[in-house]
Amino acid sequence: MWRYVAVLFVVAALAFAASGCGKKAPPEGTGVAEPPPLPTPTTVATAITYQCPVHESVTSDTPGRCTEEGCDEFLVGVAPEGQEVEYYCDMLDMHDEVVLSDTAGKCPKCTMFFKARIKGAAEGEGTDEDGPEDDEEE
C-alpha cells in the first residue's frame, strides 16, 4: 500500500513540475519581453522547390527522397535562375547551431532532411544582386 502511495506522490510531483510549477504567464503589457523569434527564411524559401536529379518530373515543396520506385536520391533544391542554393538544418532543439551543407541530404547531428534556401538569405542579404562592392569597407 505504501509503495502505491509513494508512486502516486512521485507521479503527481513530476506532473506538477512539468506543468511549470504553478507559474502563470505574465499578463500582457507588463513589460516582460518575449524572446525574439528564430530567423527563418520564409520569404525566400517560397521560391525554392525540390526536384529529383534523376527523375525531373518528381517535384515537391518539402525536402525528402525521390518517390519513384527503386530511386534512393535526395530531392535537391531548385532556386530561381541565377541564384545558388545552400542546405541547412535549424532543428535547434536537437543541436546547438544551424548546420550548413552544400549538398542535399540529412543532417549528421539529428538525421532530419536538410532544407534548402537561397544562399545568403539567412543573414538578411536575400540575393547577391548588389555585387561584390558591398563586401568592401573603406
How far apart are alpha carbons 107 and 131 in whole angstroms? 31
50 beta partners: 60, 77
How far apart are alpha carbons 75 and 62 in whole angstroms? 9
How far apart are alpha carbons 53 and 51 in whole angstroms? 6
How far apart are alpha carbons 70 and 123 in whole angstroms? 38
Q: What percent of the chain has a predicted confidence (pLDDT) above 70?
A: 64
Query: pLDDT band at 28, cuts 50/70/90?
Result: low
pLDDT digits (tens, 9 = 90+) for 8-26: 777 777 776 666 555 555 5
Overall size of the chain counted in residues: 138
Contact by Cβ (8 Å): 85, 116 = yes
How far apart are alpha carbons 14 and 25 in whole angstroms? 20
pLDDT digits (tens, 9 = 90+) for 59-96: 998 889 999 988 889 999 988 888 888 899 988 888 88
